[in-house]
Structure 1
Amino acid sequence: MKGKEWYQSDDVAEEYDAKRFSRGGRLIDRREKQAVLDALAPVDGKDVLEIACGTGRFTAMLAERGADIVGLDISSEMMEQGREKARRAGVADHIEFMRGDAARLPFPDDHFDSVFAMRFFHLADTPAKFLAEMARVSKEQVFFDTFNGRSLRVLYNWLLPMGSHLYASDEVERLLADAGLRLANAEHDFLLPYGFYRKIPNGVAGEFRGLDTAIRDTPVGDELASVSYWNARVK
């Protein structure tokens, strides 16, 4: 099962958070949330669009900090998990969940202050079209992550049931330029791929993360990182 079919399965939605963000996956969750907060801050009073909002990990977090946010996804089952998160956090009135296609966003030009997508571009079949649409509806900022081709992720990528597109830095830079975006900054992280961390206990994961971070901070760290966070501005 590939791409959209895998993602929209009922059992995937029900187990998504538990499989990815328990055990050593907890530190991945913390790092991703910090990356989003660092990029979008300050979020209080901002109008934000999240593409592929999934189970609402980031949607509820940003609403708690004062953002008015639209979460768009192709999976109704995923968004139901997000609605439950929003209700528990008491921020449902600051979030609108919409089922839609990221290649044809149902919003006018320059509608949002910031548009972002996490865990999306590795499944994107037409990344140029998606990025162009994100840029079109944003007044200021587009933020997203990619998985990288020069990394250990290559070793297990072919095992993934949904497939995964791996990017080179120059490919992302071309996509940004073609979408009319200017790269403000980029961060590269996780020499050890996500799948490794998810398989080990949280306490042990912290020790590996320390080693991972130490190597990342060397001259070869950016080249070997499995994940990149791209923070761009609308020209």
Structure 2
Amino acid sequence: MKGQEWYQADDVAAEYDDKRFSQGGQLIDRREKEAVLEAIMPVEDRNVLEIACGTGRFTVMLAERGADVVGLDISAAMLQQGRKKAQTANLDGTLEFLRGDAGRLPFPDDHFDTVIAMRFFHLADDPEAFLREMRRVSRDQIVFDTFNRFSARSVYNWALPMGSRLYSKSEVSVLLAKANLTLVDVEDDFLAPYGLYRSIPNRLATAIRTLDETVGGRSLTDHFASVSYWNTRVR
């Protein structure tokens, strides 16, 4: 996986949420959580695995809504941040954090209802292998996102500390077929790149987001969206 050393650093984990989901980044956080909830609903009593769970943004959210969740990540520092969130949350479901490799998931076949991977596939060096492993441990559903090749993301991709893998729709379709997954729905969003939102105050970001949603609501602009949220089912 790209950027493993950078990602596992203690200082990166401590500042991760503040740098990415403060200011205008709050709009990104809200939209990503909305995409996950829409795909998984109803959440209550669902058995969920999140790979590359990071600081637990989604794992804690799902456990608060009554899901039984396991969050797995390679970074001990990120997991520690997630455990701090869980300690202060009012959890209706259960939540467990485990350190592990997404390429060799320590679970039996068909163990979870749903497996999610957000902010992961742009770092995956072998996306087909990772998706097959997710498919192995899921008996029903896999939800993930990708950053898109024909988008504003490609303009600044070179400047990111660990780069990104960008995907076309056709590439993802091939991956789904190889993993024996059926596409239920895909949502495209954010004509303006994530990096722009994170770097400006929330008020300005909200205005840009309003324009983004207005223009991005047209089908012709889907091909230029920065991110796609994929909801798939096991065949």
Q: TM-score range by the shorter chain?
A: over 0.9
Deviations 1:130-180 (A, max 9, x none): 000111100100000000000001110000001110000000010011011
**Residue deviations 1:4-60, cap 9 Å, x none?**
111111111000000000110000000001111101111101110001000001111
Distance 1:219 1:181 in 2: 25
Deviation at 1:124, TM superposition (A): 0.6
Of 209-218 and 18-27, more deviation after overlay is shown by: 209-218
In the TM superposition, residue 214 of structure 1 has moved relative to its aligned partner by 1.0
Where structure 1 has 5 or more consecutive residues not aligned to the other structure, the ranges are none
Question: 1:184, 1:231 within 8 Å by CA — same for their partners in 2?
Answer: yes
1:92 Cα shift? 9.3
Count of residues in correspondence between the two structures:
234
Secondary structure (helix, strand or coil) at the match of 2:49 reads strand
CA distance in 1, matches of 2:173, 2:93: 37
Residue 232 of structure 1 corresponds to: 232
- Residue pair 1:23, 1:200 contacting (<8 A) in 2 also: yes
Q: 1:199 and 2:199 equivalent?
A: yes
Secondary structure of the structure 2 residue equivalent to 1:206: helix
8 Å CA contact 1:83–1:92 kept in 2: the answer is no
Shift of 1:93: 7.2
**1:128 alignment partner in structure 2:** 128
Q: Distance in 1 between matches of 2:53 and 2:43?
A: 17
SS at match of 2:128: helix
* Equivalent in the alignment of 2:43: 43
Q: Is the 8 A contact 2:110 2:136 kept in 1?
A: yes
The answer for the alignment partner of 1:95 in structure 2 is 95
RMSD: 1.1
Distance 1:149 1:28 in 2: 19
Aligned equivalents of 1:215 and 1:46: distance in 2? 35
Which contiguous aligned blocks of 4+ residues in structure 1 show a shift greater than 4 angstroms? none
Distance 1:12 1:165 in 2: 20
Please say if 1:220 is aligned against 2:220: yes
* Corresponding position of 1:160: 160
* Separation in structure 2 between the aligned mates of residue 132 and residue 204 of structure 1, nearest angstrom: 41
Structure 2-normalised TM-score?
Answer: 0.98
State percent identity of aligned pairs: 65
Moved more, 214-223 or 71-80: 214-223
CA distance in 2 between partners of 1:98 and 1:90 (Å): 20
Residue equivalent to 1:29: 29
Question: Given that residues 50 and 72 in structure 2 are in contact (C-alpha distance below 8 angstroms), is that contact kept between their aligned partners in structure 1?
Answer: yes
1:146 aligned counterpart, secondary structure: strand
Structure 2 gap segments, 5+ residues each: none
Say which SS state the counterpart of residue 163 (structure 2) adopts: coil
CA distance in 1, matches of 2:162, 2:78: 16
Give the TM-score normalised by structure 1.
0.98
Show the counterpart of 2:71: 71
| Aligned equivalents of 1:160, 1:220: Cα separation in 2 | 28
Mapped partners of 1:33, 1:219: distance in 2: 23
- Secondary structure of the residue aligned to 2:38 is helix
Q: Check conservation: 1:108, 1:137, Cα contact below 8 A.
A: yes
Say if 1:53 and 1:73, in contact at 8 Å, map to a contact too: yes
In structure 1, the residue matched to 2:53 is 53
